[in-house]
Amino acid sequence: MLGSSLNPINSSIIATTLIAIGHTFDAGAASTLWLVSALYLASAIGQPTMGRLAERLGPRRVFVAGLVLVGTGGALGTVAPDLPVLVAARVILGVGTSAGYPTAMVIVRRWAAQHEGAAPGGTLGALAIAAQVTSALGLPLGGLLAAAAGWRITFFINVPLVVLGVVMTLAWVPRDPPQAERTAPPSPLDVPGMVLFAGTVAALLFFLNDLHHPRWPLCALTGLLLAALILWERRTGDPFIDVRMLAGNRALSATYLRVCLTFLLNYCILYGLTQWLQETRGLSAIGAGLLILPMSVFAALITFPFARRDLVRPALYCTAAAAVVGPAGLLLFTSTTPVWALVMITMVFGIVSGLGVIGNQAAVYQQAPEEAVGVAAGLMRTFTYVGAVLSSSLISLAFGDRATDGGLHTITVALLGLGVVLCAVTPSRARRMKATP
């Protein structure tokens, strides 16, 4: 859980330090935002890549290697002399933290295979809860650490966490089987497929990052790279992304769509609503964060009963329902809406955030082929970042220069439509899922 939490906490901890970093290096907001984008991009590409390496080389080895990269990135960020070096540190952190989640999924799948009849729902739920809690704590933790010791401490904190993670891994995580025990020699890694995948994701995220000023050549480049990726992966014997499997496994493809929609909804609330609360309601950054905090706490708490009982289908149904009810309630928001009403409606989105994660995570675990669960788990995180980037573009298009009631209602109408799509996708696929694998 520690390893899988490093990515979400590094994603959010930087938010409260961007202004201070800009003052240190005399950089504007547009430049410091690369610190956020760099980790998102590296993670979106790195998660399925690390998953593939975990399947081939062993999850324990890959996880420890990822921790070493996290320590390197944290140390480099602590002593970075300028902004480009700091961005490089964030890229290293993104790649290193990408090892945590897919390797954990591979370990859980192998453990379940060795213990027939064992239900891994509690373990999967713990992974989801850890990500929820650490992501929610990242913002206040970053602010407290920066206030106490400066922004560089938010990079250095990774170093002791890495030491702790390595010690715990070597002590408790089972060793990977030696190469000699494998039944057949592994085929070469699909390096061209990995490169084409990285290029496709990078071009897509750069295009989606600013739909207010669309860069159509990037859109065309994304299409060309995607076509090349599909053609290559259909021809290679052991593809990095098994496009034939994805085409035939419609349930898994539907799950990836749900993941993208779920996190698009989540991030629109997390960032769009907080911006509206500050600019229209006049709340401070701390006040807006405290108002959103019950949503994050509720998201973590509601996952416990569903995870412990392995209630995959009910979690997905509740997520789809909340994705419609939440935006419908937001349509009533104005600058004079009582605070208690704001809190109640945001807690509905806590259902989307909490149950959407555990439901879709369990769905990926069940629907992905056993030999490809690492890549499948990594792809789930890739679609998470696509949803996050789409949310920033939607917020920018709706608010423009300032967050207003009209802009919030524009976002809400879009979210309501996305909620309807989520409802349409969920039932037909969720009914075919068993409660346990």
Q: Return d(Cα 212, Cα 423) in angstroms, integer.
A: 28
Q: Under a CB-based contact definition with an 8 Å cutoff, are residues 45 and 199 in contact?
A: no
Q: What is the pTM of this model?
A: 0.80
Q: Under a CB-based contact definition with an 8 Å cutoff, are residues 100 and 5 in contact?
A: yes
Work out the pLDDT band at 231, boundaries 50, 70, 90. Answer: very high
What SS3 state is found at 116? Answer: coil
Tell which residue, 173, 133, 416, 72, has the closest CA to residue 297. Answer: 133
Residue 130 confidence (pLDDT)? 60
Q: Return d(Cα 290, Cα 288) in angstroms, integer.
A: 5
The answer, yes or no, to whether residue 288 has pLDDT greater than 50, is: yes
Least confident of 154-158, 258-262, 295-299, 307-311: 307-311
If you average pLDDT over residues 273-281, what whole number do you get?
Answer: 79
If you average pLDDT over residues 231-237, what whole number do you get?
Answer: 90
Work out the pLDDT band at 106, boundaries 50, 70, 90. Answer: confident
Q: Return d(Cα 91, Cα 69) in angstroms, integer.
A: 10
Residue the block writes with tokens 């439509």: 417
Q: Return d(Cα 281, Cα 424) in angstroms, integer.
A: 34
Q: Return d(Cα 216, Cα 296) in angstroms, integer.
A: 37
Tell which residue, 256, 233, 223, 219, has the closest CA to residue 47. Answer: 256
Burial grade of 247 (CB within 10 A; 0-12, 13-18, 19 or more)? exposed
Residue 180 confidence (pLDDT)? 43
Q: Return d(Cα 112, Cα 116) in angstroms, integer.
A: 6
Model confidence over 52-92: pLDDT tens digits?
A: 888 888 888 999 999 999 999 999 999 999 999 999 999 99
The answer, yes or no, to whether residue 98 has pLDDT greater than 50, is: yes
Model confidence over 309-355: pLDDT tens digits?
A: 777 888 899 999 999 999 998 888 777 888 888 888 889 998 998 88
Q: Under a CB-based contact definition with an 8 Å cutoff, are residues 415 and 265 in contact?
A: yes
Q: Compute how many other C-beta atoms are within 10 angstroms of the C-beta atom of residue 30.
A: 8
Residue 431 confidence (pLDDT)? 45
DSSP state of 142: H
The answer, yes or no, to whether residue 266 has pLDDT greater than 90, is: no
Q: Compute how many other C-beta atoms are within 10 angstroms of the C-beta atom of residue 217.
A: 10
Q: Under a CB-based contact definition with an 8 Å cutoff, are residues 342 and 333 in contact?
A: yes
Q: Under a CB-based contact definition with an 8 Å cutoff, are residues 103 and 54 in contact?
A: yes
